[in-house]
Amino acid sequence: MNGKESLNSNKFLNIAKNIGDTLKTTVQFKQLESIGGGCINQVSKVSDDKGNEWLIKENSPHLLDMFIAEANGLNEIHNTGTIRCPEVICYGETQQNAYLVIEYISLVNGSGSALTGEKLALMHQYQGAIHGWHRDNTIGSTPQSNLQSASWIKFWKQQRLIPQLELALKKGYSKRDYDNGLMLCDKLELFFKPYTPAPSLLHGDLWGGNQAHDSSGNPVIFDPAVYYGDRETDLAMTELFGGFSTNFYAAYNQHFALDEGYTTRKTLYNLYHVLNHYNLFGSSYASQAGSMTRRLLTEI
């Protein structure tokens, strides 16, 4: 299907109408550019006859709630006024798809900068009363429970590690590594003496591919899996796959210094993401998850 046929389809006519109704104007798409979207969603840039540009994320119709959760998360970050993220325009579903329309930002790739570290530290100082969030969302395409708890240790055990371990076991994760994971869960409090995390607003999925800069050099974060919890979880994930400069960490610590126990706890936090990668992408992550678990058990 070529671009002209796509823009004349009922799907895109419905999306254009939703944008127009939201912005109280008339929108007629003139150009469509597919820009991929990784392993989860199809992503396109569209523009209208007035030169306005938007990003459209698409997936199966039954996944609308995933986009609503992402929209809620972007709004949560945007409302802090600390670090730029795409503004939400609208979301909805057609017979062919569920979709989310957000502001299009022309991004410049590059390692997380000192300014990114400063802005993230400011966002993390925006704190809630309790760990978790008012709704569930997804981490990648994996359901992520955000059932709220006054106890961070209870939250990390029951809403993060155990669900991933149980899903991994169903997908073929070794019983030995699963049992080690449960043993680790029973000892979590030993990693938090005397540290008591505050419920900071978290991006939730902050790897290098979910951050960049706009054309003016302002940091931008996107594709969040928002909840409130220990800010160390965001910092830990920045180290998991790289993509952040040493200046990023120096600036973050200057504005919101990390506790010295972070150097151990970051493995605990990244175990969640490595288990999720096992559950999403397969056995190549099994040995890494098992090794991380055994290393943590030696710290007890």
Catalytic residues: 205
| Residue 266 CA from chain centroid, whole number | 17
Peptide bond into 194 cis (omega under 30): yes
Q: Which residues of 56-82 are buried (b: 16+ CB within 10 A; e: fewer)?
A: bbbbeeebbebbbbbbbbbebbbeeeb
Instruction: Give the SS3 label for residue 89.
Output: strand
Task: Count other C-beta atoms under 10 Å from residue 235's C-beta.
Answer: 25
> Is residue 208 within 8 Å of residue 109, measured between CB atoms?
no
Q: HSE (CB half, 13 Å, CA atoms) of 47?
A: 8
Which residues fall within 8 angstroms of residue 17, CB to CB, at 6 or more apart? Answer: 27
* Vertex 36: Cα angle to 41 and 275 (nearest 5): 50
